[in-house]
Structure formats: structure tokens, C-alpha cells
Amino acid sequence: MRFLGLNQDCAEQIEEEKKFITYKVSDLENKKIGFEIKCRGETQMFTPEQVMGFYLKKVKTYFEKAGLTSNEMVLSCPTYLTNSERQAYLDASEIAGIKCIRLINESTAIALTYGFFRKNDLNKDKARIVAFVDFGHSKLTVSYASFKPGKMKILGTHSNKNLGAR
């Protein structure tokens, strides 16, 4: 969620994100922001952390329906997030009643997945350098990683948080 960890001091970024939403963003206490959402005929105010918490809780129910139960998750987040934005992810998981055992960058998560599924293709003597391009809805991220059997290293990452398909 693009609003996680933002507050009234982030007016420029909030104004940019408002172009792409259909609900009202309001100022709350302690410089926080909230969303006015009409639910069952009643207007309610939710923080971005609460909305993400609701989403994580829903994701958890999908796994429970499949017979997988756990109160622990690893969450990935964009590499460009600030500490307050990263803390908002942790707050959202707490709202959902889920323990976030690790918060990792999306580029690290992608590289770990690649390394796991390509481990038999890797050469122990020569590192394989792979570029990962994530052109998404609202951002572009390019990351480079080095792979050897049992080893992965992120060599570099660059993101543009406002260049995407939207």
C-alpha cells in the first residue's frame, strides 16, 4: 500500500497518490492520515495500517482454508521505503494478529526465490549475475544479484516509485 507510513508531512507524496484513488484521505491526530470509507451505509475512518492489517488477516484465512496454519509471516516491501514506512508494515501485521518474523526487501525475496529454484543450475566456480526487472502498477525496480550454490548477494538495486503502468 502506497500510503503506509506516510503522515501529513508527506503532503507531496500523498497528493501524488490521491490521483489514483476514489476515497477521501483525511488528516487525523498526531499528523496521521486516514481513509473515509463507507461500509454498510456508515462512514468509518481507517488508517493505512488498519487497511493493510485487514488485508493480511484475509490472506491468512486463505492459507487456513488450505489447511496451513501459522501466526507467523515474512513480508516483503519495496527497497525504497523509509524506516517509518517499514514500521507501518510491522504495525499492520500486528493489527492482523500476525507475527512478522522478517521484513525483507522485494528484490531480496525475488532473488531468494530464483536461487532456490535454480540451485542445480549454478556453477560453484563462477558466479551467475542476474538482473531482475519489476515493472509494476506504480513502480519500476531493477536489481542485480550474484549466485553461487548456497550463496546469493544483492549487488545493486534502483527504484523509481512513481514510474509504473498506472
| CB neighbours of residue 137 within 10 Å | 9
Q: Cα 140 from chain centroid?
A: 14
What pLDDT, on the 0 to 100 scale, is given for residue 23? Answer: 85
What pLDDT, on the 0 to 100 scale, is given for residue 161? Answer: 87
- For 33-98, strand residue ranges (E) read 33-39, 42-46, 72-77
pLDDT of 1 over the 80 cut? no
pLDDT of 32 over the 80 cut? yes
SS3 154: strand
pLDDT of 54 over the 90 cut? yes
Cα 118 from Cα 28, distance rounded (Å)? 48
Cα 67 from Cα 7, distance rounded (Å)? 38
Q: What is the pLDDT of residues 83-137, one digit of tens each?
A: 999 999 999 999 999 999 999 999 999 999 999 999 999 999 999 999 999 998 8
Q: Are 75 and 89 in contact (CB under 8 A)?
A: yes
Looking at CATH, the fold of the domain delimited by 107-160 is given as Nucleotidyltransferase; domain 5 (3.30.420)
Q: What is the pLDDT of residues 140-153, one digit of tens each?
A: 999 999 999 999 99
Q: Tell me the three-class secondary structure of 14-31, residue by residue.
A: HHHHHCCCCCEEEECHHH
Q: Could you tell me which residues come within 8 angstroms of residue 69 by beta carbon, excluding any fewer than 6 positions away?
A: 63
Domain range summary for the chain, segments of one domain joined by +? 107-160
